[in-house]
Structures are given as C-alpha cells and as structure tokens.
Structure 1
C-alpha cells in the first residue's frame, strides 16, 4: 500500500486505532480523525511517525458539523497528494428505549452512523475516483437483526448498510464500496454487566467475542483483497447471524 493515503474517522482508539496501525504497517499514509480523544490521537500519531516520517496526520472535528467533511479530505491531500481509502468508522452507540428516546438522540445517532458517512463519501468522491480508491463502512449485524432497546441505532446502521450498496452502484467503476459488520466486539467499559455478556456469548457459535484485530483484518481484506468485490457487507460475528 505504499503511496496510498487512508482516512479513518474515529481513528484514535479501540477498533479505529487498530485499523490505523494495520493500514500504516501495510505502507499507507494515514489521516486520523478524532473528536475528543486528543491525547490518544497524538500518542498514536507520534508512534507512527516514529516508524516512518511524514506518514500520519491528525484532524480534530465533530462529524455532525458539515464544515468538518471537506477539512478531512483536504488533510489527506495535504499529507500525501490525494485520498485512496476512506474508512467510515466513527459511530455513536447507546440505548434509546422507545418511551425515552429523544430527537437529539435521533439526530446524533443518525448523524454519526448515516449522515456523516454519506456526506464524507460525497466530499471524497472526486479524489477517490481520481485514484480509483475504495470506501469501507463500519456497519453492524444489528442493521438486520435489531438489538433490544437500541431502535434508533439499529435503524441508522440499516441506513448505513443500504448506503454501502447504493454508493457501490453510483460510484462504480472507479470506486469500490464495501462494509464490515461486527457482532459482539469491544463493549464499552461499564456498558454491560458480565452476566449479560455471557448470555450474548452463548448465542455465538464460536463462543467468544471478536477482538479489534479480527475486525481490522476484515477491513484490510476489503481494502487490499480482490478488486472485484463491491457492494458487499462482511459479517464478522462468530456465526451469530446464522444462529436461530
């Protein structure tokens, strides 16, 4: 991937940071977007620059702010002359029980999971077409199978999944668009009791959650694998999506 530039939203921590490291190790220059995780973003950038100068840059921004989208693309062009890979990773995730859901939650969840990825793809389209690049969206198996008490999130991810298919059609033949749909993976700290986690694991044929490495490897497959794949969403869920 030497000579290619990747932009990863939400790239400072957790899955985003793991994906950044994989892309960088493969030779790509990386633009790391973050919103609040400044210390983690700066540490990651410095780590990468320590192994290869002029190969990483940071952009802070709120993806719900339209002014952020062109700044991200401009940062990629400034870093290495263009943009080859867009990873729409950033995502809000929290429960919204029907009786308690608010319009602010709707705007936030649809903003981060559907609106921002779409308009960031729009902003990137010219560069991606010029460089015959690709987009990978982080979807979720719950785009098809709703998660209890998370209706807005699941609906937003369903929109994200359709975006993969629609953009794959509309940006072809120059740009490939695919998605990765994790199952149980990287629960936020304190988000769920251990007993509840164990109940979920019982429904996974492989009997364990995914780690950041497994998800990042799937993203890398979509980026570097066969260039005849587009419009597809790869479930990385230990078989949960086929469990009755």
Structure 2
C-alpha cells in the first residue's frame, strides 16, 4: 500500500524547484497534492492529482479564507520562503528585515494557522517546515535571513510540544544549499554536485510527513549534501 494513499498534502511554495519536487514525490506515493503559491493560476501547468490555489501567505486574512476553501489537509509541507544576502546587521533597514521575516516566518505561521484547527478536530496530522543548516549560528551579512529561519526552527519545536498529545507531528528539515536554477545562476563557480538535490530533500520531507515518523516531534533534521 502506498504510504500517502488517501492523504491530502498541502505544499506551500509549490511552484518552485523544491516545491515541485515535493509534489512529484507526493504523487508518486499515491497522495493528492494541494499546490499553494503566489504564482497566478493561469501561469501554471495543470497536473493530474494536484489542486491549485493562489495564496499570498504573508496576508493572514487571505490565508485563513483560502485554507477554509481547501478543507481537510492531512499533511502540510511549508516550502515557501526565500534567501538573500544583506548588508551588516546595523545597516539592515526595517523593510529588508521585515521582508525576510514575511517570506520565511510569516508564510509558515499563516499556513499553520490555516490547517491546525481541522488537524486538531481530526486528531491526526503532520507538518514539515524548512529551516536552514546555516541558521544554527550567526553569519556575516545574513542576519535577517538567519533570524527568520531561526524563528522557523524555534516555532517548529514550540508547536511540536503544543500538539504532540493531539496526534500531530511537527518537524523541520535544515537543508544546506539546494541545487536550484537560481542558486546555479547566483553561484556559477560552485560545484552543484555538492549541494542538496531537490528530490533528495523531498524524500526526507515526505518521510517526516508519513506515518513512519509518527514518533518524531520537534526534530530538526540536517540535510547537507556534500557541502
């Protein structure tokens, strides 16, 4: 029996490189995928077994109403987010700081708010967030990004403690550099063979969202590739 048979899996950031790999993995395992992204619906290619929603997850009200329309979600994979180098901590303005918090932390929080009431009613569910291997400690010119991903990691741990007695698993992956077209373009001199392949990271995410990981709560799993 396929481990995702009969399961509805919501994937935020579902049109990106990692999100697409995760959706492909969910479909291969027999699940139904809900693809959530800010990309307009008319710009997406329809995929059998995938329901599409255009949601700005930085908008709490829009997120709430759209998740009500989605209905039951058995697993939520929070892939939406982003990265950018910044200036020094003291030169980072409020707009840049808030941008990183919105992309990485607020999107995750609004998605969790959208699915949690129904998961609690069902007495079962799984949430997998995406932290960052590099956010386990500080680094120059990455202050806002590290704060946002550190927030994801701490909220993962906190939420896991709050809902583990309700049959809900909350965990996170901590990837190193992911092999995406954007990263290849931004780091042309690097060796992408040492990075994390999206399909490999998707496999770990799908494991954490499966029944096989039901004993795991608040785990932060490093997925580093050879980096």
Note whether the superposition's TM-score is higher than 0.5. yes
Instruction: Note the 1:14-163 alignment, pairs <5 A.
Output: 14-36=17-39, 38=41, 42-43=44-45, 46-47=46-47, 49=48, 55-77=49-71, 82-98=72-88, 100-131=91-122, 132-163=124-155
3-state SS of paired residue (1:67): helix
In structure 2, relative to structure 1, the CA distance for the partners of 1:4 and 1:116 (3 Å cut) is same
The aligned counterpart of 1:13 is 16
In structure 2, relative to structure 1, the CA distance for the partners of 1:60 and 1:133 (3 Å cut) is same
Which of 182, 199, 204 does residue 213 from structure 1 map onto?
199
Which of 195, 205, 215 does residue 228 from structure 1 map onto?
215
3-state SS of paired residue (1:172): helix
For the 8 Å contact 2:131–2:173, the answer to whether it is kept is yes
Question: C-alpha separation between the residues in 1 aligned to 2:91 and 2:179?
Answer: 26
CA distances 1:147-187 after superposition (whole Å, capped 9, x unpaired): 43121011110010001100000112221100011102125
Query: What TM-score, normalized to structure 1?
Result: 0.82
Deviation at residue 100 of structure 1 after TM alignment: 4.4
Instruction: Say whether residues 1:179 and 2:182 are aligned partners.
Output: no
Superposition RMSD on alpha carbons, in Å? Answer: 2.1
CA distances 1:98-154 after superposition (whole Å, capped 9, x unpaired): 264221121121112112212321231111123300100011101203343121011
Question: C-alpha separation between the residues in 2 aligned to 1:33 and 1:86?
Answer: 11
- After TM superposition, what 4+ stretches of structure 1 lie above 6 angstroms from structure 2? none
Question: C-alpha separation between the residues in 1 aligned to 2:41 and 2:84?
Answer: 22
3-state SS of paired residue (2:36): strand
For the 8 Å contact 1:3–1:29, the answer to whether it is kept is yes
3-state SS of paired residue (2:58): coil
For the 8 Å contact 1:11–1:32, the answer to whether it is kept is yes
Gaps of 5+ in 1: 50-54, 202-206
Question: C-alpha separation between the residues in 2 aligned to 1:64 and 1:155?
Answer: 17
For the 8 Å contact 2:86–2:142, the answer to whether it is kept is yes
For the 8 Å contact 2:75–2:125, the answer to whether it is kept is yes
Gaps of 5+ in 2: none
Question: C-alpha separation between the residues in 2 aligned to 1:185 and 1:133?
Answer: 27
How many residues align? The count is 219
Query: What TM-score, normalized to structure 2?
Result: 0.88
